[in-house]
Chains A and B, each alone.
Chain A
């Protein structure tokens, strides 16, 4: 860290010497990090590449021809995953936050809703997501309800929203409960109503705190959109499976895996950056 040169001041010889030492120390750290990386990655690569079955695995999982052949169909399928994720995510956030607020509310009128919210999170979190997808995608259209779509895409998305909103509600609730009581107290002292306190004081702080665990759930959701392959929706995974079964080659699975990784990594970095920015702004000058 070098300080900006202010007018009328130039670093002393001792400081320049220290900066050289600091630079040397940081170079040494970079070198150690690089060495450790090379050793670890190299070791892992050696284990895989030198394994007896590697030639066969490479043929059936990492075949360039099949990767190229299956790519267009997988891109089309992956678009379904992306679409499903983009539709489900905001709905989950809204539903999850609503559930969390209902559960933390003290209004007597909301007591029955609060009970329902408790049951909802308990039951939904207990049922495997895959099962929910089955139940909704096959069961709901069979009800032949009027005025709602009966496509399996629609109901599979509903299943994901229901499943994930239960998790996200609990994340939000733990965030709301982690806000120190003194904050509520000082909001009440300003004569804010309970709702205003939640809206302007508690929830904003809670949301900031739960961004990392929320991201965790969203990465998980991105991957779980692949569960809909089990109800014959032509998403990326179903497309890959279709291709693999037809050509006896598993390369498309690896291609799909790469797509999912490519989608989740930027989101993870974005959230790290957001969290760091909030921390910088709110904790500036506090040791």
Chain B
């Protein structure tokens, strides 16, 4: 579904992605792990064309989207993205946040968009909060609302950028339960995460990034349990308890 070849990205003289290659098939759940600054977020932003790559090729459903002639907005219509800091629009109610893109970009009617949004919000336990503004919600509720906002356009690929990093531990579970749900439902996802246990559960593949490179990648039981690379081992020793 998505194919990344030798992608390079630098800010000034700081190289953030240094020849990253990655293939994601339909139904895959790819977890990007690695310390802060290893390039996970940048990679996700490049996939959503929020950043221009400096070199390399990104293909989405067989078409090169890193081509400057491609309209990024058209690509983004099939991709959903959720940010670490939720990025909900504070001046709109939860429902209006969720129906903005379906109505203005995807041309759905108000009634249709609201029906979809209500159903999803209900499913993710936000039924009573639809008319509230984001500031009235807890962090976990906001992040769930942000997930629903991304899902309302029925994206074929979902990018999640450390969506639980700003949440306190007891709220993390609620959000991850949704992601697990989606993963079991066959949603294709690429997510940057610090939740190793979660990655082991839901990932079909785990990629360990370090210094802008994918150092090791493979099924979770291999990368997380029996890593081959010394740097992966060192990283896991630091983040895993015990």
Q: Interface residues, chain A, CB within 8 Å of chain B? A: 1, 3-4, 6, 9, 11-12, 14-15, 18, 21-22, 25, 285, 287
Whether A4 touches B13, Cβ cut-off 8 Å, given contacts A9-B8, A15-B55, is yes
How far is it, in angstroms, between the C-alpha of A236 and the C-alpha of B66 when the chains are bound? 58
Q: List residues of chain B with CB within 8 A of the CB of A25.
A: 68-69
How far is it, in angstroms, between the C-alpha of A21 and the C-alpha of B67 when the chains are bound? 9
Whether A15 touches B56, Cβ cut-off 8 Å, given contacts A4-B10, A4-B13, is yes
Q: List residues of chain B with CB within 8 A of the CB of A15.
A: 54-56
Residue of B with least CB distance to A20? B68
* B73–chain A nearest beta-carbon distance, Å: 16
The verdict on B126 contacting chain A, using a C-beta distance below 8 Å, is: no
Report whether B55 and A12 are in contact in the complex, using a CB–CB cutoff of 8 Å. yes
The verdict on B177 contacting chain A, using a C-beta distance below 8 Å, is: no
Interface of A is mostly: loop
Residue of A with least CB distance to B161? A287
Report whether A11 and B13 are in contact in the complex, using a CB–CB cutoff of 8 Å. no
Whether A21 touches B69, Cβ cut-off 8 Å, given contacts A1-B52, A9-B8, A12-B55, is yes
* B82–chain A nearest beta-carbon distance, Å: 13
Out of B8, B12, B50, B69, name the residue touching A287 (CB < 8 Å).
B50
Residue of B with least CB distance to A25? B68
Residue of A with least CB distance to B69? A21
How far is it, in angstroms, between the C-alpha of A25 and the C-alpha of B69 when the chains are bound? 8
Q: List residues of chain A with CB within 8 A of the CB of B8.
A: 3, 9
Please, could you name 30 A-B residue pairs with CB atoms under 8 Å apart, sorted by A?
A1-B52, A3-B8, A3-B10, A3-B54, A3-B55, A4-B10, A4-B12, A4-B13, A6-B15, A9-B55, A11-B54, A11-B55, A12-B6, A12-B55, A12-B56, A14-B55, A15-B54, A15-B55, A15-B56, A18-B66, A18-B67, A21-B67, A21-B68, A21-B69, A22-B68, A25-B68, A25-B69, A285-B11, A287-B45, A287-B50
Q: Give residues of chain B (36-95) contacting chain A, Cβ–Cβ below 8 Å.
A: 45, 50, 52, 54-57, 66-69, 83
Q: List residues of chain A with CB within 8 A of the CB of B50.
A: 287
How far is it, in angstroms, between the C-alpha of A171 and the C-alpha of B141 when the chains are bound? 36
* B39–chain A nearest beta-carbon distance, Å: 13
Residue of B with least CB distance to A18? B68
Report whether A6 and B13 are in contact in the complex, using a CB–CB cutoff of 8 Å. yes
Q: Give residues of chain B (124-166) contacting chain A, Cβ–Cβ below 8 Å.
A: none
Residue of A with least CB distance to B6? A12
How far is it, in angstroms, between the C-alpha of A14 and the C-alpha of B56 when the chains are bound? 7
Report whether B10 and A6 are in contact in the complex, using a CB–CB cutoff of 8 Å. yes
Q: List residues of chain A with CB within 8 A of the CB of B6.
A: 12
A sample of 4 more A-B contacts (CB under 8 A), given A3-B10, A18-B68, is A1-B52, A4-B10, A14-B56, A287-B45
* A163–chain B nearest beta-carbon distance, Å: 33
* B163–chain A nearest beta-carbon distance, Å: 15
* A18–chain B nearest beta-carbon distance, Å: 6
The list of the 10 closest CB pairs from A to B, nearest first, reads A3-B54, A15-B55, A22-B68, A21-B68, A3-B10, A11-B55, A12-B55, A18-B68, A4-B13, A287-B50
Report whether A14 and B10 are in contact in the complex, using a CB–CB cutoff of 8 Å. no
Report whether B57 and A14 are in contact in the complex, using a CB–CB cutoff of 8 Å. yes
How far is it, in angstroms, between the C-alpha of A209 and the C-alpha of B69 when the chains are bound? 36
Q: List residues of chain B with CB within 8 A of the CB of A22.
A: 68
How far is it, in angstroms, between the C-alpha of A14 and the C-alpha of B64 when the chains are bound? 11
* A23–chain B nearest beta-carbon distance, Å: 10
Q: List residues of chain A with CB within 8 A of the CB of B66.
A: 18
How far is it, in angstroms, between the C-alpha of A12 and the C-alpha of B15 when the chains are bound? 16
